[in-house]
Amino acid sequence: LFAKECVFVAGAATLEMLPDLPLNEIAFAGRSNVGKSSLINALTNRNTLARTSNTPGRTQQLNFFELGGRLYLVDLPGHGYAKVSKSKVEAWTRLVNTYLRGRPKLRRVCLLVDSRHGLKDSDREIMSMLDTAAVSYQIILTKVDKSSKSELKSVIEITEKELAKRPAAHPNVFLTSSHKGIGIEELRAEIASLA
Ligand code: GDP
């Protein structure tokens, strides 16, 4: 699946712009700077698909990419920016919540979490939105090349403990490094199985 072409099909900055699409969707969420663009680019073998941007608040829209005519990858706008106004946070929440609740073809959300930092409150807020919307989600730890084995072991343990307290069961915590190519092939296989 990932050997096929991946093309941008739509961007949605408002509720009215959310496209009605025929294929299953896998969405990616995460705090700003978590490595979301890098991971999507690594998965799809592209350098320019999701623009790597360190400018907070730049990409406040959902971007839909069609993969091999079989699946959409959806890049959700980042959350947890420090300097964003309350009204922007509310707009973000409304848009993402509406998306999550209205997508019968959304098979899974990959919630990216920096392996050095673990879950933050803004991640927990998304997890609550996902639980309420009854959307299956999986925690993807990013930048694992930056952490030692023992640090990883502890962050996995803490994350799994927290997941276990949630109402639904969740797929295993996944380890990735876009820079070192760790976990990329495995994540591709997992995503392809949901197409
Ligand atoms: P986004 O804001 O979530 O889209 O994050 P980016 O993909 O733009 O990455 C944010 C920063 O983290 C950039 O400086 C990347 O080079 C760095 N980064 C992303 N993935 C990795 C990784 O796997 N390992 C390391 N060491 N750095 C990474």
Q: Which atom of ligand 1 is nearest to the CA of 32?
A: 2
pLDDT: which is higher, 15 or 84:
15
Residue 146 Cβ inside 6 Å of ligand 1? The answer reads yes
Rounded to the nearest whole angstrom, what is the distance from the C-alpha of residue 186 to the centroid of ligand 1?
19
φ/ψ of residue 168, rounded to 5 = -105, 160
Task: Indicate whether residue 30 lines ligand 1 (CB < 6 A).
Answer: yes
Q: Report pTM.
A: 0.94
* Top-tier CATH class for 6-192: alpha beta
Residue 53 above 60 pLDDT? no
Atom of ligand 1 nearest to the CA of 52: 8
Mean pLDDT of 37-60: 70
Is any ligand 1 atom within 6 A of the Cβ of residue 93? no
Segments making up each domain of the chain, as ranges: 6-192
Token pair listed for 166: 């949630």
Ligand 1 atom 6 nearest Cα: 35
pLDDT for 185 equals: 97
Each residue's pLDDT tens digit, 114-164: 999 999 999 999 999 999 999 999 999 999 999 999 999 999 999 999 999
Instruction: Report pLDDT digits (tens) over 85-101.
Output: 888 888 889 999 999 99
Phi, then psi, of 78 in degrees rounded to 5: -65, 155
What integer pLDDT is reported at residue 100 of this predicted model? 96
Distance 104 CA to ligand 1 centre (A): 31
ipTM computed for the complex: 0.99
- The residue written with tokens 């790597």 in the block is 52
pLDDT at position 51, please? 57
CA 34–ligand 1 middle distance (angstroms): 6
Classify 70 as helix, strand or coil.
coil
Residue 192 and residue 11: Cα distance in Å, rounded? Answer: 23
**Is a pLDDT exceeding 80 seen at residue 168?**
yes
Which residues does 142 contact at the CB level (< 8 Å), separation at least 6?
30, 34, 35, 36, 38, 39, 112, 113, 114, 115, 176, 177, 178
Are 88 and 82 in contact, with CB atoms under 8 Å apart? no
Residue that wins the pLDDT comparison between 1 and 150: 150
pLDDT at 83: 76
Kindly report the protein residue whose alpha carbon is nearest to atom 2 of ligand 1: 33
Q: What is the pLDDT of residue 35?
A: 96
Confidence band, pLDDT 50/70/90 cuts, at residue 1: confident
106-114 β-sheet, strand order: 6-12, 62-67, 71-75, 24-30, 106-114, 137-142, 174-175
